[in-house]
Amino acid sequence: MKILVSAKRVSDPNAKLSISGDRRWIEGDVEYVMNYFCENAIECALQLAEEHGDIETIALGIGESDETARFIRQGALARGIDRGILVVADEQTTDSDLIARIYAAVVEREQPDLVLIGKQAVDGDSNQVGQLLAEYLGWPQATFASKLERDGDQLVVTREVDGGLETLALSLPCVVTADLRLNEPRFAPLAGIMKAKKKPLEELELSDLELDDAQPKVRIVHMSAPAGRKAGMIVKDVEDLIAKLRGEARVL
Amino acid sequence: MSKVLVIADHDHGVLKKLTLNTVAFAGHYAEKTAGSFDIAVIGHGVAGVAQAVTSYGAAAVHLVDHPDLAHPLAGPWAKVIADLATAIGADVVCMSASSIGKDVLPRVAVRLQAGMASDVVEIVTTSEGLAFRRPMWAGNLMGDVIISSPTKVVSVRSAAFDAVALGAGSSPIVASSAHPDAAGARVHFVSFDGTASSRPDLAEASVVVSGGRGLKDRFNSVMEPLADILGAAIGASRAAVDDGYAPNDYQVGQTGKVVAPQLYFAVAISGAVQHLAGMKNSKVIVAINKNADEPIFKVADYGLVADAFVAVPELVSKIKLLRA
Ligand SMILES: Cc1cc2nc3c(=O)[nH]c(=O)nc-3n(C[C@H](O)[C@H](O)[C@H](O)COP(=O)(O)OP(=O)(O)OC[C@H]3O[C@@H](n4cnc5c(N)ncnc54)[C@H](O)[C@@H]3O)c2cc1C
Ligand SMILES: Nc1ncnc2c1ncn2[C@@H]1O[C@H](COP(=O)(O)O)[C@@H](O)[C@H]1O
């Protein structure tokens, strides 16, 4: 069995972000971290491989060449993923749809049985790539997975949905997107970091993938800060809180 | 002239009020483009839902009723939505960013060769045409995006649009011939483990009281009386859910539900950016936390620095007295 997982780097959501001069992207000294949901996807693939054996795991990262390569090595290969694929692209001019078409082209080359990626990239917050990819491939999908079990060539996946938890049974090949409660991602062991340096990491250009069209369908034309809230007040005690909520706020 | 297609949210035949917020988005878009909107109701045994949406200004209500659509599986739902959109010549397809909307809409986009904007909160006019404003980076930044494909797909953040009011008109109900593929499905619904609650829906409630990790295993005993007295829905931080004090669908935030009630209580919640992303547009925010330095106090209109185990029961009994 072959599993394709994702390794996307994102700018640290806890860092202060500044908007670039043309107001179309962010700029400045941004710290990058591995997209949290990719860590869950990677962990899930590693656990499947440990449990069932005979599974090859491949991590795909799409982005600027050197930086993305470093993240694939440190975040995926060092944790135990077998090999990596880097597709060089400018992240500012990709949308989820172009990312999904790049994934589809890699699936075409690699023929994995399962694509296991994050439910959302915590920079763009689109929550689309897995679903787009599943439709491009004509495969079934289970998004927002909080539990995954393999039963032969079937997967049984529990999903976090509005109103509770839903369980689906899917036959392979399929696409699963990971939610945060799927597992606790491991840290890369020291030995893993050494090993990762020697693991294969293939670098591809967009032109190698023979996409019909490498244009995004969605582009950012303006970025702004959200409307802030004006500072509130600290109330003395419960009595005071009730008085404020009844009086000036009129919500009680 | 545009034609917008709204996909109704319903829970196995019961209309979700969120639909009316999505209709508000569609109405705005139609107005800005001198167009109109239709509503589609998809499922099995859902004629009642179609009837329920006939008085909100839609040019038509399309009913797609089929046994294989009883459960909202993304593949078959996406096919009928895309087929219907093509049949009526829709240039925008939208649904709320509910868990079904998030699951299904991207697949619709592929079928329609459309670009998609997620979690849209506003339609803005730019020199390059109409753009969709959406939160990014956990709501720390807002991006205005242009979709260049002829057909566009949008998931709508319902908290950002006021629900449309019941109108007088009556939209005709049209039975659609769209149908799912007959081929054997490679995905099957197994089970649903619902969070039983008689409280208002979190995404629709006018008062939401959320508890955090600080409440530990007394989450319910602290939060339930407060929710009872306020007629509120209960929410939670991710940490409270992760630690097992609250069910997963209570989670408010970047990766949970986004709410904007009249009144929001954050009890023993520190105020991480990911939590704020889900509640900072509430009208009035109250924070109760024992640590005065927590970031939650930066967004709260009223902050009470106190031990929640003491303050919340006191608050409940004082409100009770007032109401007696
Ligand atoms: C990718 C990603 C997505 C995330 N998505 C979400 C999301 O959707 N929603 C979300 O909420 N979080 C989300 N998080 C987690 C978020 O970063 C925080 O970890 C989480 O919100 C913290 O929850 P908390 O405030 O309950 O816990 P803590 O940060 O541990 O805070 C507990 C608070 O309780 C207070 N306290 C303790 N005891 C008492 C007492 N007796 N009385 C009063 N106060 C008390 C403490 O002072 C403290 O402020 C996400 C994180 C990541 C990485
Ligand atoms: N540049 C990228 N490289 C690798 N994987 C990506 C990239 N962008 C998105 N993904 C994957 O797609 C998921 C959903 O992304 P999105 O739809 O953009 O929110 C992410 O959680 C990642 O797993």
Q: Where are the alpha helices (DSSP H) in chain B?
A: 18-32, 47-52, 74-88, 99-111, 219-230, 238-242, 273-276, 296-299, 308-323
- Taking alpha carbons only, the member of B154, B185, B205 closest to residue B71 is B185
Q: Does A234 touch chain B (CB under 8 A)?
A: yes
Find residue B267's DSSP bridge partners: B211, B288
Q: What is the largest CA-CA distance in chain A?
A: 68
**Measured between alpha carbons, how far is A49 from A116 in angstroms, rounded to an integer?**
13
Q: Where are the domains of chain A?
A: 2-226
From the candidate CATH numbers 3.80.30.20, 3.40.1640.10, 3.40.50.2300, 3.40.50.1220, the one assigned to the domain spanning B207-323: 3.40.50.1220
Give pLDDT tens digits along chain B (324 positions). 899 999 999 998 899 999 999 999 999 999 999 999 999 999 999 999 999 999 999 999 999 999 999 999 999 999 999 999 999 999 999 999 999 999 999 999 999 999 999 999 999 999 999 999 999 999 999 999 999 999 999 999 999 999 999 998 899 999 999 999 876 679 999 999 998 888 999 988 999 999 999 999 999 999 999 999 999 999 999 999 999 999 999 999 999 999 999 999 999 999 999 999 999 999 999 999 999 999 999 999 999 999 999 999 999 999 999 988
CA B229 – CA B223 distance, rounded (Å): 10
CA B116 to chain centroid, in Å, comes to: 17
Ligand 2 contact via A117 beta carbon (within 6 Å): yes
Report yes or no: A162 at the B interface, CB cutoff 8 Å: yes
Equal CATH topology for B3-184 and B207-323: yes
Amino acid at B144: D
Show residues of chain A in contact with B247, CB under 8 Å. 164
Give the β-pairing of B152-156 and B92-96. Answer: parallel
Beta strand B14-15 with B10-11: parallel, antiparallel or unpaired? antiparallel
Residues of A within 8 A of B274 (CB-CB) are: 13
CB spacing of A224 vs B131 below 8 angstroms: no
The answer to whether residues B141 and A17 touch, using CB atoms and an 8 Å cutoff, is yes
CA of B278 to the centre of ligand 2 (A): 21
State in Å: Cα A126 to ligand 2 middle.
9
How many angstroms separate the CA of residue B81 from the nearest CA in chain A?
A: 13
* Residue numbers of B between 12 and 71 with CB closer than 8 Å to A: none
Dump the DSSP string for B115-129: EEEEEE-EEEEETTE
Note whether B288 and B311 are within 8 A (CB).
Answer: yes
Nearest to B137 among A13, A216, A251 (CB): A13
What CATH number was assigned to the domain covering residues B3-184?
Answer: 3.40.50.620
Per CATH, domain A2-226 is 3.40.50.620: yes
Gap between the Cα atoms of A50 and A71, Å rounded? 23
What is this model's ipTM?
Answer: 0.96
